[in-house]
Amino acid sequence: MSCQPFREAVSARLDDEPLGLPGRALDEHLSGCSACASWAADAAAVTRRARLATAPVVPDLTAVVLGALPRELPGAAAAARARLVETGLRFALLAIGVAQTGLAWPLLVTGAGAMSAPMHMAHETGAWNIAVGASFLAVAALPRLAAGALPFLGTLSVVLVWVTAADLAAGHVHLERAAAHLLLLGGVVLVATTAWRSRRQRSAHAVGRRVVA
């Protein structure tokens, strides 16, 4: 039988690894094979010298390594700015949602501000405006809802601008009444901005996953 398996077993024994064969068989082979016994003694001596050798002096590079590191991780400043912008958008939507609901509440409860409109029409207008305010508040709480709310809010704002301009030209509405719609338009702009930022972030994450994969 070749001596190679037994020499590999000797090396494994020196490294405290599985021998790959019975230990008794290895010992019997070493007792009967002088070449392998000599090889095992030399291997043991080399292993002992390597383990007991003095480790070379290594300079402490901790300060150099820490000094070479950037003061902040790449992209940290951009991420902080993005979080700040998102927080600002959410607070602005929260404020507009509360204001929109506050303006609509008298219409819904008492019909105040309904001008010459019948009471039920005032109630419908109040309910509609409260729904718009609730949409702003929902997007402020959960920005991922912005894309879903945008078709409704966008359509409302476009139609409202069109009919308000026509009513102003015809003298059917006062300027201060038309100016009240600016609150809604501002909220729609914020929702559209939130939806656009969310879509851009999802696209960036998708690209990142493809790169990692």
Listing DSSP states for 69-136 in one string gives: S-SS-TTHHHHHHHHHHHHHHHHHHHHHHHHHHHHHHHHHHT-TT-TTS-HHHHHHHHHHHHHHHHHH
Q: Domain for residue 56, yes or no?
A: no
Same domain, 133 and 208: yes
Q: Domain for residue 143, yes or no?
A: yes
Confidence class for position 110, pLDDT limits 50, 70, 90: low
Number of folded domains in the chain?
2
pLDDT recorded at residue 79: 75
pLDDT recorded at residue 114: 46
Whether the predicted pLDDT of 59 surpasses 80? yes
pLDDT recorded at residue 122: 67
Residues 53, 64: Cα–Cα separation, whole Å: 28
Q: Domain for residue 63, yes or no?
A: no
Whether the predicted pLDDT of 208 surpasses 60? no
What lies within 8 Å, CB to CB, of 76 at 6+ separation is none
Q: Domain for residue 10, yes or no?
A: yes
Look at residue 68 and give its three-state secondary structure.
helix
Same domain, 45 and 95: no
Find where tokens 């038309």 sit: 178
Same domain, 107 and 164: yes
Lowest mean pLDDT among 8-22, 97-111, 112-126, 152-166: 112-126
Structural domain that includes position 201: 77-212
